[in-house]
Every structure is written in C-alpha cells, then in structure tokens.
Amino acid sequence: MAEETLKAAAASSEAPAAAAEVAVVPEAEKVEACEKEAVKDVAVEEEKEKVTASISFKEESNVVGELPDPQKKALDELKLLVQEALNKHEFTAPPPPPPVKEEEEEKKPSSAVEGGATVPTPVVESECKEEEKVTAVEPSVKEVTEVIVKAESCIDEDGAKKIEAIQETIVAVTMPAEPPRTEETAPPPCAAEETPISPEEISIWGIPLLADERSDVILLKFLRARDFKVKDAFAMLKNVVAWRKEFGIESLLEEDLGTEQDKVVYMHGVDKEGHPVCYNAYGEYQNKELYHETFSDEEKRTKFLRWRIQFLEKSIRKLDFSPDGICTIVQVNDLKNSPGPFKRELRQATNQALQLLQDNYPEFVAKQVFINVPWWYLAFYKMINPFFTQRTKSKFVFAGPSKTAETLFKYIAPELVPVQYGGLSREGEQEFTSADSVTEDIIKPATKHTIEFPAPETCTLVWEARVVGHEITYGAEFVPATEEGYTVIVQKSRKIAATTDEPVICGSFKCGEPGKVVLTFDNQTSKKKKVLYRSKTKLGSD
C-alpha cells in the first residue's frame, strides 16, 4: 500500500511534465538563418529555466496580471489553440472515416467527353481527309472548331501551307492550362452563401473553456502540469475532454454508488488558508467485510473507482475558480493500520486510480500531509525521493504517530481537526462549533499548569480542553471572588491517558456568585505537552 499511496499522492499533486526537450546545435555549414533560430530557441529555454528557478514552490497566483511574461505568453497561445479547436469542433468531432481510394478514371485529365467516352485531343495531319477527324471534336472547344471551319474554305488554294497554319493555330489555342468548361460544370459555391457554424461549447468541472477569468484558471492548471509547454498542455486538455465524455462524468454525478466508503475518504473543514481538507483513512480497510465488498472482484473495483472519481468531481465543483479564489485541496493521508503492499486487489484498484488522477486532474492538490507514518514508509520514500520533481516534493509533509497532531496544527486550526487526530472537532450536537476559536498553551515537564476562566454573577460557564501527548492529571474547581466564599471542587483530579476514548475534557459550572473556574493540569512526565482549550459564558439562569 505504501508505494501505491505515495505514487497516487504524487500524481494528484501534479501531473508529470513531458520529456525535456533536447537542444541541437546546428553544424557550421548550416545557413545563418538556422543558426539565428537555434540561438533564439536556446534563449527561450534559458528564460524558462530562470522562471522555474525563481519559483519558491508555493501555490502560484492565478491572477493573469501577476504571472511572469513567459507564462502570460503561454496562456495566450493556449487560448488561441483552444479557440481554433472550438471553431472547428475538434473537441467533439467524431474520428475521420478511413480514406477511400478514388477511381483512376476520375483522376484522368479533362478532355472532350460525351456519354462517358473520352475523346482524344485532335491532331491535324498533312492530308485533307484527316480534317474530318478534327471537326469531330466536341463543340465544347469552341475556338478550335471555328478555326477549322475557316480553314476548309481555303484548302484548295494551298493545302500544305494552310494545314501548317492550322496546326500552329490549334496549338496556340489549346495550350492554356485551364480545362474547358462544359455546361454540366457547376460553378463553385460562393463563400458568402455558406451557413456559418458557431463554435462548440465545452465545459470542464462546470467552467467553460473560454468564457472569463475562471477559464484562465483552468487552462493554467494544464499549463503548469506540462511545465508551460503549450502544445503538450493543449494535447492533455483535448485528452481530458475526450476521457470525460467517454467515462460519462456528467451522468456519473447523478449515480447512487452507496455510502460504504464514507469513512475512508471524506471532506472535513478547511486549512488556515481556506483550502478544503480531504481525509483518507486507509486503516478502515482492515475491516475484512469492507475490503471484500470493495476489492474482491473486477466489478466491485470498478464501482470503487467510479465512486472515487464521483467524490473528487463533486469536491472540485465546490471550489472557487476565480483568480483569487481557492481552487486546490489539502490531502491528509492517514496510514495508521493501512493494509500492506501485498494486497493484489488493492494494488490493482490503486494503480487504476493513479493513472486516472495523473492524466485527468492536474494541479488540484495544494498540500499532501501523511500522518501516522510508520518508519518503513519513510525509508521507502527516501529511496524514491530522487525521482520526484522539486515541485512535487515541496507539497509532501510526513509525520509519525507522535507528531501527527502537532503537524496538522501547523496547517489546520485545532478546532477544525477531527478529534481522532488530536483536534477538537467532533460529530453531532456539541456545545462549541468551528467558529469558537481555540487557545494553545505549553505545559512544561514536571510542572502544574493552570487555566482560569472568569465568571460573572449568575451565569453558566462551559469549557472544553484536551492535552496533546502523553497522559496527564486534570482537575477543576470554582474559586469565589470574595474571601468569605467557599471553593467548590468541580472535577476531582484524575489521570487522563492519551489513548482514552474520550480525549476531550468537557465541563460546565453554574455560578451563583462572581468568581473564576480554575483548570489544573499536572504534567508529571519529562516531556512538554500542549493543551488546547476554549470556553464561553451563558448569562442568565440557563
């Protein structure tokens, strides 16, 4: 599973660029024009390298005005190719029929024809009787016939001389290359009379190919996937449009493919930059029943593949394709209890999905975060690391089991991280929502750390907290603001393990007088820990 997961992640991060072009130095004997052209090509390639080297491998801007000049030029060239293809209906035109050999008779030069019989060009000989053959020529050669009639009236006086003149006259008249026009020959149709064909309309992920700024964002994805090589990007675009039609993407969106995979792949919240986050929990396939229902035969693997594409399509259509919008996704890949690499059925399905992602979904991943990564997985990555581009490697983040929550918090706010990954986000009705921000504190080794929540008179104070890391001892109490008041124990001190089924500490206290609620965390270990917490006050008697 390790190899397939990592390759699929790389494929969905960016489609591989086409093979690098090889510069050929012209030989000395080539003409000066060729040398200038070669120098120009080398200069262009060097400029591309400079642009590539200057990129900091962050998510690039989709605002056309902010693009480097070479990228603007590439986008303009691609748009011209797309417009021409739309005008010619190249995206939806059926493949041309195989060429049919024309009959040789249709290719013969035109001459006087009647009833399908070809009449050879007349030849005048030195004897007068041969003129009868000449006069047998079709009336279509009008000028030649008139000359021959005039020659007959003068033949008795000086036949030899006149015949020679006739030969010269016929040759002079019949030499032009224009074929004689017959009455059956129809004039070519006038271009102005042709019915204009409107360009075809093609959309991809709900965005027309050429419409507005959103179209530019789509085209930039293909250009980046092919390193801004315009022809390669255009070829990829045409292939994607053809594949989507063949795969039936539009009808796929309406299919009911079940809910068996909902716990394996799901969207949950956004990262700190607003990218939707997709979680892939491969450990769910440890469930033998789910594994069998997903991968046991070709039909089930095909259904899984269609479900995966359907899920991705629906997620993409929720993105904002405006130039300054969010049009990529953060992928979180949980490798805890992930099936091993020897599952043949799983490997086949993953390879199929890999190929489709690689070929048809360019530049849709902003970050690939691998969590609960076993040591052998990192060793495998180090082996194949040289084969990835710097662009792809810049999107990879790896975290072992002890660093999973800490790593996720770098990119995703704790209140939006699912509780099973160290955050505070839980399903169902909860006291707090994702809009309630979380505070983070560090608990030093072998120390007690306190958190205070002020409480005005007659209110109900609610809070929740969790400690990221190993076990800790927790307690809570209410301390009144007046000296005459009594401290109330809200929660007796108890030890909370890191593996508890209820990692989130929830509490509430109805205050009848002003004071404060104090939470105490006793870290008796030699390692520092992080505590996440938030609170709210409900005024009144409720």
- Angle at CA 375, nearest 5°, toward 369 and 377? 60
Q: Would you say residue 151 has pLDDT above 50? A: no
**What per-residue confidence (pLDDT) applies to 129?**
43
* Of 349, 284, 276, 280, the residue nearest 314 (C-alpha): 276
**What per-residue confidence (pLDDT) applies to 153?**
46
Tokens of 224: 């980046």
Residue 233 CA to residue 78 CA, distance in Å, equals 8
Q: Are 261 and 295 in contact (CB under 8 A)?
A: no
Q: Are 425 and 503 in contact (CB under 8 A)?
A: no
Mean pLDDT of 268-280: 95
Segment 427-444, tens digit of pLDDT: 877 888 888 989 999 999
Place 54 in a pLDDT band, splitting at 50, 70 and 90. Answer: very low
How does the average pLDDT of the chain come out, rounded? 76
Task: Provide, for the chain, the percentages of residues in helix, strand and coil under a 3-state DSSP scheme, each rounded to the nearest 5.
Answer: 40, 20, 40
Q: Would you say residue 108 has pLDDT above 80? A: no
The most distant pair of C-alpha atoms in the chain lies apart, rounded to whole Å, by 156
**What one-character DSSP code corresponds to residue 193?**
G
**What per-residue confidence (pLDDT) applies to 352?**
83
* Of 109, 108, 112, the residue nearest 142 (C-alpha): 112
Instruction: Pick left, alpha or beta for residue 485 (phi over 0 → left; psi -120 to 50 → alpha; otherwise beta).
Output: beta
Q: Would you say residue 117 has pLDDT above 70? A: no
Q: Would you say residue 161 has pLDDT above 90? A: no
Residue 401 CA to residue 334 CA, distance in Å, equals 10
Choose the weakest-confidence range: 156-160, 365-369, 451-455.
156-160
Place 445 in a pLDDT band, splitting at 50, 70 and 90. Answer: very high
Residue indicated by tokens 């799901």: 266
- At 489, which helix (H) or strand (E)? strand 488-496
Domains and their CATH numbers in the chain: 1-17+39-92+200-412 (3.40.525.10), 111-174 (no CATH), 432-539 (2.60.120.680)
Q: Would you say residue 249 has pLDDT above 60? A: yes
Tokens of 281: 């929990």
Residue 30 CA to residue 41 CA, distance in Å, equals 16
User: What are the angstrom distances between the C-alpha of 162 and each of 126, 130, 170, 377?
Assistant: 10, 14, 12, 103
* Of 185, 473, 214, the residue nearest 321 (C-alpha): 214
* Of 225, 206, 174, 162, the residue nearest 389 (C-alpha): 225
- With 0-12 / 13-18 / 19 or more C-beta atoms within 10 angstroms meaning exposed / middle / buried, residue 94 is exposed
**What per-residue confidence (pLDDT) applies to 339?**
75
User: What are the angstrom distances between the C-alpha of 140 and each of 60, 88, 97, 181?
Assistant: 71, 40, 37, 7
Mean pLDDT of 367-393: 82
**What per-residue confidence (pLDDT) applies to 105?**
47
Residue 357 neighbours by CB distance under 10 Å: 23
Question: By percentage, how much of the chain surpasses pLDDT 70?
Answer: 68
Q: Would you say residue 98 has pLDDT above 90? A: no
**What per-residue confidence (pLDDT) applies to 538?**
86
* Of 419, 284, 139, the residue nearest 149 (C-alpha): 139
**What per-residue confidence (pLDDT) applies to 111?**
42
**What per-residue confidence (pLDDT) applies to 12?**
52
- With 0-12 / 13-18 / 19 or more C-beta atoms within 10 angstroms meaning exposed / middle / buried, residue 20 is exposed
278 has which bridge partners? 267, 331
Q: Radius of gyration (Cα) for the chain, nearest Å? A: 40
Residue 163 CA to residue 155 CA, distance in Å, equals 8
Choose the weakest-confidence range: 335-344, 432-441, 515-524.
335-344
Please compute, for residue 40, the number of CA atoms within 13 A of its CA located in the half-sphere on the CB side: 6
Helix (H, G, I), strand (E, B) or coil at 278: strand
* Of 52, 25, 53, 62, the residue nearest 366 (C-alpha): 62
**What per-residue confidence (pLDDT) applies to 508?**
92
**What per-residue confidence (pLDDT) applies to 196?**
64
**What per-residue confidence (pLDDT) applies to 75?**
96
- With 0-12 / 13-18 / 19 or more C-beta atoms within 10 angstroms meaning exposed / middle / buried, residue 322 is middle
* Displacement of CA 91 from its chain's centroid (Å): 18
**What per-residue confidence (pLDDT) applies to 507?**
92
Per-residue burial over 51-70, b = 16 or more CB atoms within 10 Å of its CB, e = otherwise = eeeeeeeeebebeeeebbee
Mean pLDDT of 158-171: 47
Q: Are 327 and 366 in contact (CB under 8 A)?
A: no
Place 46 in a pLDDT band, splitting at 50, 70 and 90. Answer: very low
Mean pLDDT of 189-199: 62
Task: Pick from 24-33, 195-204, 335-344, 496-505 the range whose average pLDDT is largest.
Answer: 195-204
Place 130 in a pLDDT band, splitting at 50, 70 and 90. Answer: very low
Mean pLDDT of 488-509: 82
Place 41 in a pLDDT band, splitting at 50, 70 and 90. Answer: very low
Question: By percentage, how much of the chain surpasses pLDDT 90?
Answer: 43
The phi, psi pair for 473, rounded to 5°, reads: -100, 135
Mean pLDDT of 171-184: 49
Choose the weakest-confidence range: 110-119, 410-419, 515-524.
110-119
**What per-residue confidence (pLDDT) applies to 240?**
96
**What per-residue confidence (pLDDT) applies to 242?**
95
* Of 281, 382, 293, the residue nearest 338 (C-alpha): 281
Q: Would you say residue 192 has pLDDT above 70? A: no
Place 32 in a pLDDT band, splitting at 50, 70 and 90. Answer: very low
**What per-residue confidence (pLDDT) applies to 13?**
55
Mean pLDDT of 328-347: 82
Q: Would you say residue 382 has pLDDT above 70? A: yes
Mean pLDDT of 59-67: 89
Residue 359 CA to residue 11 CA, distance in Å, equals 8
Choose the weakest-confidence range: 35-44, 77-86, 316-325, 373-382.
35-44
* Higher-pLDDT residue of 443, 391: 443
**What per-residue confidence (pLDDT) applies to 345?**
76
Q: Would you say residue 256 has pLDDT above 70? A: yes
